[in-house]
């Protein structure tokens, strides 16, 4: 029997390296979300510094990123077949990138804003007709994504960033998790899983801020 985790690991890496993902290119605050960022996450997954787990998401969403354990969680073995699910995987991988970058003093609503924009840009880049969007955050993110698409490296205008962060902070799903406009982000860097490389658990350390992975 095939290993479901291995299949989903391969799927996520291929989404990160797809043309639609590689065309994403914008900056929001301190983060530059582009092909290089997605390649860093793809490499970290390939190396095992970020693991893919098939399990129900604890936070109540479909997929999630666990910043403490550096895990991308997807609910089942088929997740990622649909375009909206691929957008959600890109969303979670932005959280992984923010965790890896580990800039201090950032807001979690800004992390979410960057993740929403990347997910929307991914869907727009595939050329597939955008499925109906039901949430205010999704609608706003889609509108902003359409204004910055096709401008590599474009900085998300502060006014748009603020609007999107406000919408996120007022969404019940995020309110329940204690997210406010200014609540601090939880990025803490990646563990280097030295245990998997012939060392012991005692050697596991979180990478200091802005450390590049080998
Ligand atoms: Zn998110």
pLDDT digits (tens, 9 = 90+) for 133-147: 889 999 999 999 999
Q: Which of 49, 184, 208 has its CA nearest to residue 111?
A: 184
18 Cβ contact list (under 8 Å, min separation 6): none
pLDDT at 210 over 70: no
Distance 13 CA to ligand 1 centre (A): 19
Please say if the pLDDT value at position 206 is more than 80.
no
Q: ∠ CA 10-92-199 to the nearest 5 degrees?
A: 60
**CB-CB contact of 30 with 51 (8 Å):** no
Q: How far is the CA of 185 from the centre of ligand 1 (A)?
A: 11
Of 133, 212, 124, the C-alpha closest to 167 is: 133
C-alpha of residue 200 to centroid of ligand 1, in Å: 32
Say how many Å lie between the CA of residue 186 and the centre of ligand 1.
12
Distance CA 103, CA 125 (A): 28
Distance 1 CA to ligand 1 centre (A): 32
| Distance, CA of 72 to CA of 51 (rounded, Å) | 6
Q: In the predicted model, what is the mean pLDDT of the chain?
A: 90
Q: How far is the CA of 4 from the centre of ligand 1 (A)?
A: 23
Q: How far is the CA of 76 from the centre of ligand 1 (A)?
A: 18
How many A from CA of 93 to the centre of ligand 1?
A: 9
112 Cα: distance to centroid of ligand 1 (angstroms): 5
Q: What is the pLDDT of residue 58?
A: 85
Separation of alpha carbons 112 and 168, rounded Å? 7
What DSSP string describes 157-210?
Answer: PHHHHHHHHHHHHTSHHHHHTT--SSPBP----PBP-GGGGT--GGG--BPPTT
Output the pLDDT for position 42. 97
- Please tell me the least confidently modeled range out of 25-29, 70-74, 189-193: 189-193
Percent of the chain with pLDDT over 70: 88
pLDDT at site 162:
98
User: Ligand 1 centroid to 108 CA: how many Å?
Assistant: 9
Which residue in the block uniquely carries the two structure tokens 């983060």?
A: 31
pLDDT digits (tens, 9 = 90+) for 157-166: 999 999 999 9
């Amino acid at each position: 029997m095939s290993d479901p985790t291995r299949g989903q690991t391969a799927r996520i890496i291929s989404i990160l390296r797809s043309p639609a993902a590689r065309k994403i290119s914008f900056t929001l605050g301190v983060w530059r979300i582009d092909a290089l960022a997605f390649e860093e996450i793809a490499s970290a997954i390939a190396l095992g510094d970020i693991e893919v787990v098939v399990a129900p998401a604890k936070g109540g969403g479909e997929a999630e990123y666990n910043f403490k354990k550096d895990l991308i969680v997807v609910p089942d073995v088929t997740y990622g077949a649909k375009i909206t699910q691929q957008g959600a995987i890109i969303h979670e991988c932005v959280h992984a990138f923010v965790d890896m970058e580990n800039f201090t003093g950032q807001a979690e609503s800004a992390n979410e804003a960057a993740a929403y924009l990347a997910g929307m840009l991914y869907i727009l880049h595939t050329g597939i007709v955008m499925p109906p969007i039901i949430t205010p955050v999704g609608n706003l993110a889609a509108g902003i994504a359409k204004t910055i698409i096709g401008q590599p490296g474009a900085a998300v205008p502060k006014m748009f960033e603020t609007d999107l962060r406000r919408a996120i902070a007022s969404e019940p799903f995020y309110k329940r998790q204690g997210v406010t406009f200014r609540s601090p982000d939880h990025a803490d860097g990646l563990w280097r899983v030295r245990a998997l490389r012939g060392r012991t658990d005692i050697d596991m350390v979180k990478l200091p801020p802005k450390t590049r992975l080998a």
